Amino acid sequence: SAVISQKPSRDICQRGTSLTIQCQVDSQVTMMFWYRQQPGQSLTLIATANQGSEATYESGFVIDKFPISRPNLTFSTLTVSNMSPEDSSIYLCSWTGQGANEQFFGPGTRLTVL
Amino acid sequence: GDSVTQMEGPVTLSEEAFLTINCTYTATGYPSLFWYVQYPGEGLQLLLKATKADDKGSNKGFEATYRKETTSFHLEKGSVQVSDSAVYFCALSDQKYGVGTASKLTFGTGTRLQVTL
C-alpha cells in the first residue's frame, strides 16, 4: 500500500493563530480523509477531500474553521484556524484507493494549543 | 446513525494470556467491519477486516468474526505478547456512498491493552 506522511509531526501553538498540516502520499489516491482524535477519545471524521472538488464536511465542522485543499491526487492540507485550547488533538489524514473501503492512516500531527 | 461500542479499558494481561476485546455496532445496511491498532507514538494501522456476515478476519494471530445476528465483531488472540501492547479500535464503514467507492469510518472509543511479563 502507499506510504503516507504528515508534517509537522507535532506543534505547540498560541491561541488565535492558525496551523496548516500537510499530508503526502507516495502514489495517486482517489479519496483522502481528515480525522481528529481528541485526548483520550476516538477518531472523528472532519471532512472528505476529493481532488478537484470542494471538501465535504461532517456535522459540527465548517470550512471557515478547517479549510482543506486537495490540489492533486497525492497531496492534501488541513488548516486549523483561529485556534483555541479545545483544538488540542491529534489530526490524522487517511486515504483509500478506488474500489476499496478500507483506509490507511498517516502517523498523525499532535497539536497543543496554549 | 451508525455507532460502535467497545469495552472500556485499560485491559491488563500477562504474557501468553487469552485476549478478548468486545465490539458491537449499530448500522443501517451491511457495513464492513475493521480493527485498527495504534502502537505508542504511531498512527493507526489496519489489523484485520471483514466485509460480510460470518466472515472471519485474521492477522498476526488476532481474529474477529462478523456476527450479524449479535451485531458484534469481537477481537481475540490466543496468546498475547508484550509487543501487542497498544490501543485497539473497532470501526465500521458506512456504504451510503455506494459499493466500490470509499466510505467514511465510524470508530469506537478504543481499548488500551497492556501486556506484562
- The confidence score (pLDDT) of residue A87 equals 96
Residue A81 and residue A66: Cα distance in Å, rounded? 6
Q: Of B40, B3, B39, which is closest to residue B23 (Cα–Cα)?
A: B3
B→A contacts (Cβ < 8 Å), by residue, are: 32, 34, 36, 42-46, 49, 51, 89, 93, 95, 100-105, 107-110
**C-beta contacts of B98-104 below 8 A and 24+ residues apart:** B100/A98, B100/A99, B101/A31, B101/A98, B101/A99, B101/A101, B102/A30, B102/A31, B102/A48, B102/A96, B102/A98, B102/A100, B102/A101, B102/A103, B103/A101, B103/B32, B104/A33, B104/A45, B104/A48, B104/A58
- Does A101 contact B43 at a Cβ distance shorter than 8 Å? no
Q: Indicate if the pLDDT at residue A39 is higher than 50.
A: yes
What pLDDT band is residue A42 in, cutting at 50, 70 and 90? confident
Mean pLDDT score, B48-59:
93
- Does A42 contact B100 at a Cβ distance shorter than 8 Å? no
- Does B46 contact A104 at a Cβ distance shorter than 8 Å? yes
Give, as one character, the DSSP assignment of residue A85: G
> B7-53: per-residue pLDDT in tens?
888 999 999 999 999 999 999 878 889 999 999 878 889 999 998 89
> A74-96: per-residue pLDDT in tens?
999 999 999 999 999 999 999 87
Query: Cα-Cα-Cα-Cα dihedral of B65, A40, A43, A114, to 10°?
Result: -170
- The confidence score (pLDDT) of residue B7 equals 87
Residue of A nearest to B97 (CA): A101
- Does B34 contact A104 at a Cβ distance shorter than 8 Å? no
- The confidence score (pLDDT) of residue A96 equals 79
- Does A102 contact B103 at a Cβ distance shorter than 8 Å? no
Low-confidence winner among A26-30, B31-35, B101-105, B110-114 (lowest mean pLDDT): B101-105
- The confidence score (pLDDT) of residue A1 equals 61
% of chain A at pLDDT higher than 90: 67
Place of cell 468474526: B65
| Cβ neighbours around A40 below 10 Å, total | 8
Q: Where are the beta strands (DSSP E) in A1-114?
A: 4-7, 10-13, 19-25, 31-37, 43-50, 56-57, 68-72, 75-80, 89-96, 104-105, 109-113
- Does A102 contact B104 at a Cβ distance shorter than 8 Å? no
Its sign, for the CA torsion A111, A39, A94, A53, is negative
Collect all residues of chain A within an 8 Å Cβ-Cβ radius of residue B108.
Answer: 42
Mean pLDDT score, A27-54:
88
- The confidence score (pLDDT) of residue B100 equals 44
Å between B103 CA and nearest CA of chain A: 6
> B87-105: per-residue pLDDT in tens?
999 999 876 444 445 567 8
Low-confidence winner among A4-18, A51-65, B5-19, B92-106 (lowest mean pLDDT): B92-106
Q: Where are the beta strands (DSSP E) in chain B?
A: 3-6, 11-14, 19-21, 23-26, 32-38, 44-50, 56-59, 62-65, 75-77, 86-93, 105-107, 111-116
Residue of B nearest to A58 (CA): B104
- The confidence score (pLDDT) of residue A3 equals 76
Mean pLDDT score, B70-99:
87
